[in-house]
Homo-oligomer: A and B are copies of this chain.
Amino acid sequence: MLFLNKYAIQKIDQNIIQTAVEQAYRLVLSQNYNMPDRMHVADRQNILLLMPCFSEKFFATKLVSVFPEAQKHGQPAVNGVMVLSDNVSGQPLAVMDGAAVTAQRTGAVGGLGVKLLTAETVKTAGVLGAGVQGLSQARYLLFNRKIKTLYIYDLYEESAISMSRTLKKEYPNVEYVITEHSNQLVENSNVIIAATTSSKPLFEITPDVVMGKTFISIGSFRPDMQEFPNTVIENADDIFVDTMFAAKESGDIAIPLKNHVVTKDEIKEFAGLLEKNTYPETRTVFFKSVGMALFDLAVSSAIYQLAVENNIGQTLDF
């Protein structure tokens, strides 16, 4: 059995991760997987999510714990352990840092959105939320597009500054602009990615500013969370979700649906895009991802196979 910590997982080539996410979407199309509803356990103010998924060769279970109070003691609120097993023999193959796998796969979900939904010539982009997920989104954005100016907004300016410093080392030719207001970021960006846990829309916007832009919401994972104002989804030519669960799970879809701003039949599955070769560049697009265990399975099995071939990770005498 293999153990892969966050440093090992962070070093994996982004192309490997994004290709794995693309493979996950192809499994969605072929329906050649088994993903039970995740188990949601509450213990006092804390949450434990158990996310199993099966493909032909592998099965994986991600354990994610959310301890809101942990941050007060200087520890991460979100922790995860990923267990990957062989789906023929049943043997456990690897244990991985689940938070690192989550960050990588979520970044790649956004990155694949950028790749399939934006013009190749796009030059301006903005990331709302400069946490772990925001950083990962920015990395996959910059991996997919030659962005000239990247706008960053966070409630805490220091987080945004810290994120821009990290990115500058990896992508020194990009201009990083920390915006004081989120509205300013949205006005100046052609691609807007949000990775927050906000319960209220992060900005105000008029329909003319929405037009022609790509909006990607990564953060809102509960019905009471909403990152984008209704104006965005209302004016979008296309609305995509990574899984139809998003309509129930995220306020970014559930709230506009409830308010009759959109109807269910306007919402399409992102996987369908893989069957097309091109995407018209002038459309206004809204993409909401809530994530799914299938992404974790696809990414962790790709990481595992690469690790075995390249002797990455710590071998455990199971």
Q: Which residues of A contact B (CB under 8 A)?
A: 3, 5-7, 34, 36, 39, 41, 43, 46, 48, 50, 52, 54, 59, 61, 63, 65-67, 70, 73, 75-77, 79, 81, 83, 85, 87, 89-92, 95, 97, 314, 316-318
Question: Is the Cβ of B67 less than 8 Å from the Cβ of A48?
Answer: no
Chain B nearest CB: distance from A79 CB in Å? Answer: 5
- A85, B97: Cβ atoms under 8 Å? no
- Residues of B contacting A65 with CB < 8 Å? 59, 85, 90
Q: Tell whether, in the assembled complex, residue A50 and residue B39 are in contact, meaning their CB atoms are under 8 Å apart.
A: yes
Taking a contact as CB atoms under 8 Å apart, the answer to whether B63 and A89 are in contact is no
- Whole-angstrom distance between the alpha carbons of A200 and B68 in the complex? 50
Beyond A3-B3, A73-B89, 11 additional pairs, beta carbon < 8 A: A3-B316, A39-B52, A43-B59, A50-B52, A61-B63, A63-B83, A75-B89, A76-B90, A81-B95, A95-B95, A97-B318
Contact A85 B89 (CB under 8 A): no
Q: Give A230 Cβ to nearest chain B Cβ, in Å.
A: 35
**Cross-chain contact of A5 among B70, B90, B316 (Cβ < 8 A):** B316
Closest B residue to A78 by beta carbon equals B90
Give the distance in Å from the alpha carbon of A67 to the alpha carbon of B90 in the complex.
Answer: 6
Contact at B61–A90, with CB atoms within 8 Å? no
Say yes or no: B67 contacts A89, CB within 8 Å.
yes
Q: Which of B52, B61, B92, B316 contacts A314 (CB 8 A)?
A: B316
| Distance (whole angstroms) from the CB of A107 to the closest CB of chain B | 21
Q: Choose one: B39, B316, B317; the contact of A39 (CB below 8 Å).
A: B39
In Å, the complex CA distance between A46 and B3 comes to 25
20 sampled A-B residue pairs with Cβ under 8 A: A7-B317, A34-B43, A36-B41, A39-B39, A39-B52, A46-B87, A46-B90, A48-B61, A50-B61, A61-B63, A67-B90, A75-B89, A75-B91, A76-B90, A79-B85, A79-B90, A79-B91, A81-B83, A81-B95, A83-B83
